[in-house]
Amino acid sequence: MMLSAVRAAARRSLASNQRASTSFPPPPSSHGRRSLSSSLSSSSSSLSSSSPSQSSSPSHPPRRTPPSLSSSSRRQYATTSHPMMRPTVAPRMPVKTVHVPTMGDSITEGTIVDIPVAPGDYVREDDVVVVLETDKVSVDVRAAESGKVVEILGEVDDVVEVGSALYRLDTDVEAPEGGGGGGGGGAGSAADVPHATSPPPVVAAVASAPTPPPPKKAAPPPPPLPAMEFVTTSLGNRPERRSKMSRMRQRVAARLKESQNTAAMLTTFQEVDMGNFMEMRHRHKDEFAKKHGVKLGFMSVFVKACTAALREVPAINAYIDDENKEIVYRDYCDISVAVASPNGLVVPVLRNTEYMTFADVERTIALFGQKAKDGTLALDDMAGGTFTISNGGVFGSLMGTPIINQPQSAILGMHATKMRAVVDEKGNVVARPMMYLALTYDHRLIDGREGVTFLKSVADKITDPGRLVFDI
């Protein structure tokens, strides 16, 4: 009976230890183990002394020590189970919507003529995203910061208003050329790196996958060609080609017709002897170019002559305020100079010509010409103007009647210089380089006397350039 009781006690102790090992309790203390061992030893000794025949009985199975978690496993279990220790993802920055910029006081809309990028393309700061054509110039809408183009909110030939949404840009995307993000260094155990958090299995699998190479940026599509339609007649092969009017051409047409419908235009003519100025120019052009770094042309002397004449006849420099029924006289001279460009005629403005020298005029006109050729003229370059000079002579025009550039009141037309037979002061017939000048003015404001006086003053100053030197 004694032996059976000891065995039953041992089995209960073993079952208890097995249940404890399942819930991972701390292992029994050494004191507890010694107590249990002593109890079993004393029981066995008493049993052996009372029943010597049972000393060779089989030994009990060894007690299983409950497993314990390592320090690294406990840290991993704690960090993944506690909600405050789980890895979080930073909130994504919102996608920015870029609007049509302000393009001038009188411009309220523009037409999309080119979209050099496509949705999904990565653009850097100052890259052109959309090209708009206004009534006066083309405007490049550039990216204010780097990012990926999410959506273009328009198509070519769409008319967009100032302030309307134009495209959407995700600025939270890294440049493809910059390579992948911080992929981390070599692998190590959790015990080697304190406070390290193990990513979830799905995140770990994605992070361990090789980073695909960034997609190559597709070349921007070429600008679309104007839509063309061939119309054949019944008289055989007589094709016609149609092309859509650009926004600038539409605006020029509308303004010219508006000028004809508004002003009472009258043109007066005068011929001018260019011989004295051409001789003076020939003597000093090399030294002028060497000192000022720009060629001496005809336009500078006409600008200075017109500026002096405008101050003599203030009505030519004024305009009519139709809304308030007033005449506005301006005490400054801003002369517009018509310049040909690939997109049509543009008219940049020389500011305060009364303070400009011949060299200042030539340098500014050369700069405007280069900008017109490159298509980089800004709206501020063409805003305003009190008087306009148009030089049709560079194209071989002998004579013409220019149209007033509203709201100005007059415009001077220069023409080609031709050798013609004239009678000099002594009655001799001589060949002289002559140019016809044409002044178109608004007869509502400018009387014939004022118009002729102005044009005669300009012609006198060109014929005798000394008048400009001595201000007479």
> Each residue of 230-248: pLDDT tens digit?
555 556 788 999 998 888 8
What does 405-420 look like in DSSP terms, one character per residue? Answer: -TT-SEEEEE---EEE
Beta carbons within 8 Å of 123's beta carbon, 6+ residues apart: 117, 129, 143, 146, 147, 148, 149, 169
Instruction: Collapse the DSSP code of 129 into the 3-class scheme (helix H, G, I; strand E, B; otherwise coil) and give the result.
Output: strand
| Mean of pLDDT values over 425-437 | 95
What pLDDT was estimated at residue 52?
41
Q: Tell me what percent of the residues of the chain surpass a pLDDT of 70.
A: 69
In the chain, what are the domain boundaries? 91-173+223-244, 265-470
What pLDDT was estimated at residue 472?
83
Residues 229, 90: Cα–Cα separation, whole Å: 55
> Among 29-38, 256-265, 280-289, 394-403, where is mean pLDDT lowest?
29-38
Are 349 and 381 a contacting pair, CB within 8 Å? yes
* More confident position, 8 or 32: 8
**Whether pLDDT at 4 is above 80:** no
Active-site positions read 443, 447
Q: Which residues pair with 434 in a beta bridge?
A: 273, 418
What pLDDT was estimated at residue 410?
97
Write the secondary structure of 261-274 as one string of H (helix), E (strand) and C (coil).
HHCCEEEEEEEEEC
What pLDDT was estimated at residue 108?
84
Packed helices 275-292 and 358-374: angle between N→C axes, nearest 10 degrees:
80
Same fold, 91-173+223-244 and 265-470: no
What pLDDT was estimated at residue 404?
95
- The pair of structure tokens assigned to 275 is 């011989």
Residues 75, 323: Cα–Cα separation, whole Å: 82
Q: Which residue has the tokens 């517009």?
A: 336
Selection from 107-121, 145-159, 291-305 with the highest mean pLDDT = 291-305
CATH class in words for 265-470: alpha beta
> Could you tell me which of 143, 207, 139, 187 has the C-alpha nearest to residue 169?
143
**Whether pLDDT at 91 is above 60:** no
CATH classification for the domain delimited by 91-173+223-244, as one of 3.40.720.10, 3.60.15.10, 2.60.120.330, 2.40.50.100: 2.40.50.100
Are 160 and 154 a contacting pair, CB within 8 Å? yes
* More confident position, 8 or 141: 141
Are 463 and 272 a contacting pair, CB within 8 Å? yes
Q: What is the pLDDT of residues 190-228, one digit of tens each?
A: 444 445 455 555 545 545 556 666 676 666 777 777 776
* More confident position, 179 or 349: 349
What pLDDT was estimated at residue 268?
97
Task: Compute φ and ψ for 144, nearest 5 degrees.
Answer: -75, -25
Residues 356, 348: Cα–Cα separation, whole Å: 16
**Whether pLDDT at 46 is above 50:** no
- The pair of structure tokens assigned to 456 is 């005669």
Distances in Å between the alpha carbon of 299 and those of 334, 393, 435, 462? 15, 11, 13, 11
Q: What is the pLDDT of residues 56-90, one digit of tens each?
A: 444 455 555 545 555 545 555 454 545 555 555 55
**Whether pLDDT at 359 is above 80:** yes
Extended strands (E) in 216-300:
265-273
> Could you tell me which of 124, 130, 118, 117 has the C-alpha nearest to residue 175?
124
Residues 242, 208: Cα–Cα separation, whole Å: 60
* More confident position, 60 or 262: 262
What pLDDT was estimated at residue 55?
42
Packed helices 2-22 and 30-50: angle between N→C axes, nearest 10 degrees:
160
Q: What is the pLDDT of residues 158-176, one digit of tens each?
A: 889 988 999 999 988 888 8
Mean predicted lDDT score pLDDT of the chain = 79
